Every structure is written in C-alpha cells, then in structure tokens.
Structure 1
Amino acid sequence: MPTTPPSAGPSSVSRLGPWHWLVFVVGVMPVLAYAFSPRVGDLELYFRSARALLAGATPNQDFRFEYPPYALLWFVPAAWLRDTEPGFVRVFGLQLVVLDAFIKWVLLTEGARLWGRAWRSMVPCLAYSVTTWVASVYYLKRYDLIPAALTLAALLAVSRRRDVLAGLALAVGVVTKLYPLVLVPLLVVVCWKRGTLGRLSLGLALGLAPLLALSTVWPWWGFASFHVNRGLQVESLAASLVWAAHHLGWVQGVIWLKAPAAYELHGTVAENAKGVMRWLWVLGTLCMTALGAWAARHRPTEHVGDLARLALVPLLAFIILNPVLSPQFLTWVIGLAALSLLSGSPTVPLLILAAGLMSRGTFIGPGYRVGSGVVQTLLILTRNGFLLTAGFLMLREVWRARVFCAQEARLALAPGASALPPLPAARSS
C-alpha cells in the first residue's frame, strides 16, 4: 500500500532548484519547435470545423463533428485569431505547448515535494519529456493533450482538497473527450470518504451546465452515432492479432482500408473480432472502473501519485480493450504513468511510457496506408502487449490490496488480535 514518507509532508515542500528549471526548459523547447511545424495532421479538421462554426453553421446539422461539444470550443480561439490554416496550426500549437508545460511543471513540483532536489525528483519529468519528444507526431497534432491535462488537473486538485475545481476540470474533460468519464466514480469515492462529495458535485454541475444552453441550438449528441458505426481500427489489440494471423496465413479475406477517421480491418474475421471486443471493452471497462473505485475506498488517496496510479486501472482497460485504439490514446495515460513513478512499483509506468514511445513507429513508412509489414506488425503487437501487461499488473496490485484489507478487517474483529503489519512503503524518503 503506497504511503507517503515523512519527508513528503507539507513542511518538506521544496522549491525547484536550478537543475529542475533546466529540465523544464529542455523538456518544453523541442515540443515548442514541433508544435510550430507545418505538419497538419488532424488540425485541418479542427480548423475547418471551427471556421464553419464561426461562419454560423451548426455542428451535426450543417456539418459533421465527430467529437464531444467542448472539443470544438477549444478550437475556436485559434480559428478566430487566425483565419488561415498555417496560422491556426501555430496558435493552436501554442495552446498545446502551454498544457504540455503545465504537465511537466506538475511532474517536477510533485517530485520536489517528495524528494526535494535529489536527482530522482526529476525522473518523472525526464521520462515524460523523452516520451513526448518521440511521440510528438500524435502528441502535438491531435487535441488529446487537452483532456489529458484536464484529467491531471482534476487529480491534482483532489489531492490539494480543492474538490470544486476537481469536479469542474473533470466535467470539462468528459465533455471534451468523453474518456475521463471512467474516473468519475474514483473521485466520487475519494470525496465521499473525506465528506466533500457535495463540493465535487458542485464542480461537476458547473462543468456540465453549459451543455443545457448548447442543447437548445446544437444537437451535440450526434457525435455518438459516428463512433457507434466505426470499424476495427488497425492499431487495436484485436486488429493486431487478426493482422498477425493474416501474415501467418491462418485467416483469409482480411482487408486493410482507409475509413473516414482511421485505417480499419474489414472482412468476416475482422467483423467477428470487432463484435467480441465491443463486449469485452464495455464489460472490462465497467469492471475495472468499479475496482478502481473500490480501491480508492480502501487505499490512501491523498497523494496525487496514488490517485494517478488508481486512475490507470480503468483507463488501461478502456484503451487496450477498445476496438478503436488510435496512437493518440496513449496521450491520456503517459502523464499519469510518469506521475505514478512517485507511487509504488515503477514497472507499470515504465511499460506505459515504453508503449507511448513505440506508438511512433506505427506511422513510419508506407505500411500504415496499405497494410503493415511483419516488422511493423510485431511493433504494434509488442506495444499492445505492454499495455495489456500493465493492465494485468494493475489488476494484480489492486487485488492483492483487496486481500490485505480483508485480512486486516477480520483481525480487527477478532478479540485481542494484533493488527497486521503495514505493507512496505512504496516511496522512500
């Protein structure tokens, strides 16, 4: 069970030293350079959608918008300031750099709170920085960094007992990308346990309130129909297994083709795999969300590293079991993984960060457009294997904590029995 060492108390909060600031600058500068690069990626879609909204068009009525409604509102400022695509790319890129800097600042300050100016206080930020440099092709040319920063802000706010702010950040994250919804039960349990559920609920209500106004002029719920009809994305766990079987000659009739939003596998085998994975995804995510909430009820959750670690329980299930697994989904968890280096075993965070690094290889060469070759298929399989292993390790970690809590409860009820010794501290002073 993670416990904060004596040196991690409020009296030991350390200011960032010169080496921390050097790591911060070195971590952000390459990101700034790539954010201003002319590479467009999905930013073209963001620009066109925002300009259409500014021209008076209604999303999902006059034009298709495939994301939750707040996502479009994040695109509007850059499109309003710059009416050309190159200008939009630069301004929106600057927005993402600010959020990237926020995440790296959190990693450094939390490391300093725990370990002062020791070198290991900089390890989470360094690990995250290297991953973001390599992953910049999807890290900075998609908008997933926005909900990732909001999610981290919500966990940080809860750890600081600013529960209204936590609820607000989480609600905005949900209506920006939807996936933070699986973290709502976790935060509800944490705040219920400390008696501040009302404050969290107020923050959630404030974040969701604008949806009432939007609903009168914008059928924003139309984005869901687009995703219901999506196929088996080539980077998903099931697709990587089907495509590997195709390479081995075990299955026939598997087709790799360009769909409206991604590359997908089609054919009888792929359709059957998609059907199975959809059920596994829903059931697995629900079970892991419930397990993460249960763990929050029985484990320390005051340190943001502990919260980040528990957040990985439902998020890993949501990602690896998803029949749609885009490389940018790793943006959702690499920041939490780096933060989890402050709490517990480093194995799970390192597996996730390694998966983030490997996702860059998905786009190398022409194989992504016509069907990945053997080497690229092995890379995708390895990446997915790392994520699946990380998920199993988190499941085992939470299960072992459950067994320990059950034993502790039985001993507490036994008259005259001594308490079990605490689990070893996961963070040392």
Structure 2
Amino acid sequence: MPTSCPSVGSSTVPRLGPWHWLVFVVGVVPALAYAFSPRIGDLELYFRSARSLLAGATPNQDFRFEYPPYALLWFVPAAWLRDTTDGFVRVFGLQLVVLDAFIKWALLHEGARLWGRAGRSMVPCIAYSVTTWVASVYYLKRYDLIPAALTLAALLAVARRRDLLAGLALAVGVVTKLYPVVLVPLLVVICWRRGTLGRLSLGLALGVAPLLALSTVWPWWGFASFHVNRGLQVESLPASLVWAAHHLGWAQGVIWLKAPAAYELHGTVAENAKALMRWLWVLGTLTATALGAWAARHRPAEHVGELARLALVPLLAFIILNPVLSPQFLTWVMALAALSLLSGSPTVPLLILAAGMMSRGTFIGQGYRVGAGGVQTLLILTRNGVLLAAGFLLLREVWRARVPRAREAGVEPVPGARALSALPVARGS
C-alpha cells in the first residue's frame, strides 16, 4: 500500500485503461439483462403507487404508501412513460442500470486515482460486480439501489470538498429511504472541522425543502406509522435466532406468516424478541453513529476509502440490529464495502460482500413462503453472524483510531495497535 494518496480536490483525473473499460462493460451488461427480465417483485407495488398518483390520488390518504415521499417521485417517470407493469419494469430497470453503472464507474475511477492502471485498481469494481450478479434478485428488483447511489455520491462529494453537493445528495437519499440519516452526524463533524459546515447545511436544507410544499397536499409522514407496527421480519438477527430455537424445540408457538410487506414471525416469543430488539436497535444505532462521528472528530478522514469505512459503522448497526431486515438492505452497504477495499484491511468489506451474496439464498425454494428449513435457517444465521462480525471489527477499528492522536501527544500507544486513521489519508491541498 502506498504511503500517500492523491490530494483531495486535485484536478488530476485518472485515465482508465482498456482493462478498466472491459471490467466496466462486463460488470454492467449482466445487470442490464436481469433488469429487463420479466421478474416483477416489488416493482408492481411501485407501478400501482405511481399510477395512482398520476391519476390524482393522494398517498397515505387515498392509498397506502409505505416509503418516504421522494421514493414515489422516483417511480413516476417510468409509470408516466409506460402504462403497463411490463413496460414499467423495463423503463424502471433502465433507471437502476444507469445507477448501477455509475457506482461501478465510480469504483473504477477511485481505484485508478489510487493505483493508476495496476490490476488492484479494478478489485473494488470486480468484487462489487460479482456480488451484484449473485444478488440481482433483490439488487435490481427493489429501489434500494437509488439511495445507495445517492449515499455514495455524498461521500464522493465530501472527499472532493464539494460539501454543498454532499448535503444535497444525502438529504435526497434520506427522504428517499430514510436510513442515510445516520450518516448526517459524520458529515457534520467532517465539515465542521474544515469550516465548511454552512455549505453542507445549505445542501441538506435544499434537499429537504420540497417537503414543505409536499406537506400542503400530501400527508407524507404517514409512512412512519406503517413501519412502527411491523412485526419481526424473518431474515432479521432476532428472528433467525428465534426460528432456530423453534427448530430445536426450545421455542413454542412461533408462527411464520405472510404480513402486508414481508414474512414475519409471530407468537409470544417473537413478540418479546421484537420488543427487546427495538430498544437494542435504537441504542446500538445511536451509539455506532456517535462512534463514527467521534472517530472523524479525532482524526479527519479525507480519503474516500476511509470515509466509506466510517460510514459503514452506523449503517451496519442500523441493519444488523434492525428487527426488520430485508435482503435488499445489503444493497445499502455493498458499494461502500467495495470502496473501503481501497483503505485498510480487506476483511470487513469482504465479509459484507459475502453477506450480500448469501442473502440470495433467502429466496431459494418454498421455505421462504412456508417457513425456512434447517439448511435455509443455517444460511440466514450465518449471514447475520457474518454481518455481526463485520460490525464488531469496524468498532474495533474506530476504537483504535485514538492511537495516532496519542502518538501526536507524545504518548506511546499500546504495542501492536493499529488504527483506522493510520491508513493512507489523502491530505487536502
């Protein structure tokens, strides 16, 4: 690993070589093929909601809409251009492929900034492409790729010191899927240290400003009540433990059933686990968010690979502790995991990408509809264990971020300790 990285804000634009473009094409073409496939999944719900809006209906008043308001606006162009589900699938699929191509191009571009045309510069894109091929059943048939691309754009903008753009991208991502809100404190701390918090705040304000106008005609906040009442989703960490206990005969009265938005576990044991996990989820996510911001406060992370690793801290906590954990949630972190291969140990990002591929097994066979069998339950447990391990390893990195600060103060750190921030850092020009 080199001892320095290209300067933040540098005008030098890396030139991609022929092998980069080959990797790009090979990465995107399979996605294009699957996005146009007739598999519908949640796309029918998106189509119906957008067509209802275009017909003059009001979301959460005339029909239920379970997502934040900007999500519906992303569905409208395809529904306006095509008035059938099949037509919508193709046009909306093209939207997703464009975003998929943006992410893969960004991974190649960042790799080339650090490594030039060396083979290792293509590793993040190759790792991400393989993961998306395996995970295509949820990666390209849900809209989670949209906020994931916006989150990546926000981090890239911060790394380039385009803080207004970063705030705008992050705000739009939050009002599209909500989860990027856990990254706001991280970006606030980074921009506060730079003295550019005003620009970030302006971007955030511009991103959420349309909500004021929407509020006059659309009770968009109604989506929250739907999620508050959701049960224990079968893929979540607590659900996998409860279902495994059910298989072993340790938990009685556990029921696997189809709910309005997902498959859930019900019964006394499942309800108790859900109540406990909700508190752990809130407290764990807040703690991880604070730790990520603390790490940025004590050692500025400017290189985009480091930013990605810090962003993964609250995001992984939000996902793995969540009593509602759909397979597509892994889409939120796959690009950041691939990007973090540019900075530090590859263990954590590879674990996350492996979990993304294992999530594909959730949909195999009839078990997902009637109750996972032993092998499928073991797969879900393994996937959740891998995510949990990745989260603990990241927390350890954040804790060790104090070591360089101790060195600067003339204090000898614990022998053998390594910090996240001891990794190559791109210095501002």
Normalized against structure 1, the TM-score is what? 0.95
Equivalent in the alignment of 1:411 = 410
Change (3 A) 1:386 1:200: same
Change (3 A) 1:223 1:428: closer
Corresponding residue SS for 2:256: strand
CA–CA distance in structure 1, aligned partners of residues 276 and 418 of structure 2: 41
1:266-305 matches, within 5 Å, as 266-305=266-305
CA–CA distance in structure 1, aligned partners of residues 348 and 298 of structure 2: 21
CA RMSD of aligned residues (A): 2.0
Q: Does 1:247 align with 2:247?
A: yes
Aligned to 1:426, which of 394, 408, 423?
423
Change (3 A) 1:422 1:319: closer
1:2-401 matches, within 5 Å, as 5-6=3-4, 8-9=6-7, 10=10, 13-401=13-401
Change (3 A) 1:11 1:174: closer
Task: Report the alpha carbon displacement of residue 427 of structure 1 after superposing the two structures with TM.
Answer: 5.0
CA–CA distance in structure 2, aligned partners of residues 428 and 307 of structure 1: 10
Task: Report the alpha carbon displacement of residue 297 of structure 1 after superposing the two structures with TM.
Answer: 1.1
Task: Report the alpha carbon displacement of residue 105 of structure 1 after superposing the two structures with TM.
Answer: 0.4
Equivalent in the alignment of 1:417 = none
CA–CA distance in structure 2, aligned partners of residues 214 and 11 of structure 1: 39
Task: Report the alpha carbon displacement of residue 11 of structure 1 after superposing the two structures with TM.
Answer: 7.7
CA–CA distance in structure 2, aligned partners of residues 140 and 375 of structure 1: 26
Task: Report the alpha carbon displacement of residue 409 of structure 1 after superposing the two structures with TM.
Answer: 5.9
Q: Provide Cα deviations, 1:107-130, integer angstroms capped at 9, x if missing partner.
A: 000000000000000000000000
Q: Provide Cα deviations, 1:152-192, integer angstroms capped at 9, x if missing partner.
A: 00000010111110000000000000000000000000000
Q: Is residue 13–residue 112 contact of structure 1 (8 Å, CA) maintained in 2?
A: no
Task: Report the alpha carbon displacement of residue 406 of structure 1 after superposing the two structures with TM.
Answer: 5.6
Q: Is residue 108–residue 124 contact of structure 1 (8 Å, CA) maintained in 2?
A: yes
Q: Kindly provide the amino acid, as one letter, of the partner of residue 229 in structure 1.
A: N
Change (3 A) 1:65 1:422: closer
Change (3 A) 1:153 1:194: same
Q: Is residue 338–residue 349 contact of structure 1 (8 Å, CA) maintained in 2?
A: yes
Task: Report the alpha carbon displacement of residue 319 of structure 1 after superposing the two structures with TM.
Answer: 0.1
Task: Report the alpha carbon displacement of residue 411 of structure 1 after superposing the two structures with TM.
Answer: 2.6
Change (3 A) 1:407 1:75: same
Point out 4+ residue stretches in structure 1 off by more than 2 angstroms.
3-14, 405-412, 421-429
CA–CA distance in structure 2, aligned partners of residues 187 and 87 of structure 1: 39
In structure 1, list runs of 5 or more residues that go unmatched.
415-420
Corresponding residue SS for 2:400: helix
Task: Report the alpha carbon displacement of residue 298 of structure 1 after superposing the two structures with TM.
Answer: 1.8
Q: Kindly provide the amino acid, as one letter, of the partner of residue 190 in structure 1.
A: I
Corresponding residue SS for 2:141: coil
Q: Is residue 170–residue 204 contact of structure 2 (8 Å, CA) maintained in 1?
A: yes
Q: Provide Cα deviations, 1:31-83, integer angstroms capped at 9, x if missing partner.
A: 00000000000000000000000000000000000000000000000000001
Corresponding residue SS for 2:241: helix
Task: Report the alpha carbon displacement of residue 400 of structure 1 after superposing the two structures with TM.
Answer: 1.3
CA–CA distance in structure 1, aligned partners of residues 20 and 404 of structure 2: 38
In structure 2, list runs of 5 or more residues that go unmatched.
none
Q: Provide Cα deviations, 1:218-253, integer angstroms capped at 9, x if missing partner.
A: 000000000000000000000000000111111110
Normalized against structure 2, the TM-score is what? 0.95
Q: Kindly provide the amino acid, as one letter, of the partner of residue 363 in structure 2.
A: F
Corresponding residue SS for 2:257: strand
Change (3 A) 1:299 1:7: closer
The percent identity for this pair of structures is: 85
